[in-house]
Amino acid sequence: MRRIEEIESLLNELENRIADELEDQDLDFKEWIFRSFNDSISMVVDMAICMANGGGGTIVFGIKDRVTGRAKAIIGVPPEVDVNKLKQAVYDRTDPKLTPVFEELRVPEGTGRIIVMQVHQGLPPYTDTSGAGKIRIGKDCQPLTGTMRRRILVETGDTDYTAEQVSGNDQMQVSSVAVDYLRNIARHEQAPEDILKTDDIEFLTAIGLIQRGRVTRAGLLLAGSEEAIKREIPSYAWTYLKMKDETNYVDRIDGKEALSIAIAKIMDRIMASNPITTLEYGMFHFEYRTYPEIAIREALMNAFSHADYRMSAPIIVKQYPDRLEISNPGGFIGGITPNNILHHQPVSRNPHLVEVLTRLRLVNRSNLGIPRIYRAMMMEGKHPPLIDEQGDAVKITLLACKFTAPFRAFVAEEEQAGRDISIDHMLILQYLIQHPEIDTSTAAHISYRKEEEARRVLSSMESERGYLERGGTGRGTYWLISRKLHNRLMTTGDFDNRQRTDWDAAKTRVLSILIQRAKCGEKGLSNSEIRQITMLSRYQVIRLMHELQNENPKISLKSRGRYSTYSFDD
């Protein structure tokens, strides 16, 4: 939920941005319906239900969408609207009962007041008294369908398919080969030795896969025989395809073996076409693959641990010449989206399965899997993973990018010096390697951060690390990669050294030409001519000349429109 102070700050943003751009999973702006008090009450109730089902949040009433300027956007709420009646209406018309907190905020625009409703996270699902409801997904309130209700039950732990016990003789349902695979993987991850030394049944009991003498479905998924898996989890399957092109494959393997065997087989197939390459660069001797092994393993573990095993769809791995795709059935849950997954708190569809995998150190409960994939790819100068939700499936794509030795050496040297390079740092630096500059909004977008968080990262990269240089002021502030770091990272033919915009040099060159023209009695420079001189865009030229005018009062803009020119008045 958002504090009133934060809401007040966001209202100032409405001067230049529409309300929709400011909304988030936990924040919505709504226009009050003046024509009908009953419709407005219904809207308040619907938004309380929507936000409660989506994990809680803040709704600001009295804000018009899709218009800029505070005076136009803030229309307010009528003075006769009683917040106590709103609270009573929400309580009376929700099931289970909701009791949001209402706050008034005085503003100079519109009716002079807006109303802020704070909805706390509870125990969903919530509906109105007729059984209808919505749930907050990203910026939207979507119908609380049967599938959504099931997701909520999963998220709240009311149902866990993998924790259910199956009938039958546990000895007959367990595959000793699968247990050995599981032990070896766990040993590689340095799981506790006292667990690894026990026999198969004791081992599975110790890690919680056998409970009260019966195997759980997670036990079958991790260490079950193929026959038992087919019988008890008929929807479980996996497929690996080595693709020749978009429609044809040259190698295929399908299976229903336990997760431990499946991952080993898939890894063998992928790594056969993912050889190690060695490279000496300065004082470093790098060994790398097209796809870092840790990124592949984390992506596979993510797919198998978060799959919905009730759905009749396999986990699919497709290895193309230029990319690796890993997809699993079951869409995102718990408010996770492709745009927030990097920083979102972990939500598990299969808590029991994940608990055991965590105990064996095969996955991390602290949502480190996705960041590890990002880090493994980006520290080698490669593109970050692409994560997408396609219907009821999630797909992670790793692109076959080149290894960038200068960037990898830079990361290694910083780490040796005790300066950790965060994922935020790498996302911003790699953007600046390909683009002349970055502003706060762009940094927030590429790092999946809020703007105030992105601004802090950019500022620290400038003042504390010296990675960036700042230009402009206020809303026109931008950052570019520092000259020293730019030259250090651009030591190969992979990048264009001209990508870094040198504003000081551009200003000096333009000013010199303007002075020369003034001495010769010639007219000044047009925007088009300055673009040719500096290789900047039209809007960059406008900004450059605005800064130059502030620095040198002798520069003036003559005329307006297409015939306008900048001149030096000596």
| Residue 491 belongs to domain with CATH number | 1.10.10.10
CA dihedral defined by 179, 183, 189, 195, rounded to 10 degrees? 110
Q: What CATH number is associated with residue 527?
A: 1.10.10
Q: Exposed (0-12), middle (13-18) or buried (19+): which is 322, by Cβ within 10 Å?
A: exposed
**Residue ranges in 483-557 assigned as alpha helix (H):** 483-489, 503-519, 527-534, 538-551
> Could you read off the pLDDT of 12-68 as tens digits, one per residue?
999 989 999 999 989 999 999 999 999 999 999 999 999 999 889 999 999 998 899
**Cα distance between residue 229 and residue 207, in whole Å:** 19
Q: Strands, DSSP E only, in 23-64?
A: 27-30, 57-61
Residue ending a domain, choose from 499, 521, 548: 499
Report CA-CA distances (Å) from 24 to 29, 62, 388, 480, 532: 10, 17, 19, 28, 41
Do both 185 and 121 map to the same domain?
no
Whether the pLDDT of residue 497 is over 50: the answer is no
Residue ending a domain, choose from 461, 483, 499: 499
> Could you read off the pLDDT of 426-464 as tens digits, one per residue?
999 999 988 878 889 899 999 999 889 999 999 999 999
Whether the pLDDT of residue 150 is over 80: the answer is no
**pTM, whole model, 2 decimals?**
0.69
Tokens 């924040």 -> residue: 27
Q: Tell me the helix, strand and coil percentages in the chain, rounded to 5.
A: 45, 20, 40
Can you give the pLDDT at residue 154? 65
Whether the pLDDT of residue 5 is over 60: the answer is yes
Nearby residues of 455 by Cβ (< 8 Å), 6 or more positions away: 440, 443
Do both 201 and 264 map to the same domain?
yes
* C-beta of residue 245 within 8 angstroms of C-beta of residue 380: no
Task: Tell which residue, 349, 363, 351, has the closest CA to residue 297.
Answer: 363
Nearby residues of 107 by Cβ (< 8 Å), 6 or more positions away: 11, 74, 76, 113, 114
What percent of the chain is predicted at pLDDT more than 90? 57
What range defines the domain where residue 440 resides?
405-499
Task: Tell which residue, 122, 132, 223, 149, has the closest CA to residue 180.
Answer: 223
Whether the pLDDT of residue 99 is over 60: the answer is yes
Length of the chain: 570
Do both 332 and 448 map to the same domain?
no
* C-beta of residue 330 within 8 angstroms of C-beta of residue 395: no
Do both 265 and 172 map to the same domain?
yes
Task: Tell which residue, 123, 120, 141, 121, has the closest CA to residue 132.
Answer: 141
Do both 155 and 300 map to the same domain?
yes
Dihedrals φ, ψ of 111, to 5°?
Answer: -75, -5
Q: Exposed (0-12), middle (13-18) or buried (19+): which is 464, by Cβ within 10 Å?
A: exposed
Do both 103 and 116 map to the same domain?
yes
The total number of structural domains in the chain stands at 4
Do both 235 and 361 map to the same domain?
yes
HSE (CB half, 13 Å, CA atoms) of 61? 25
Residue ending a domain, choose from 457, 481, 499: 499
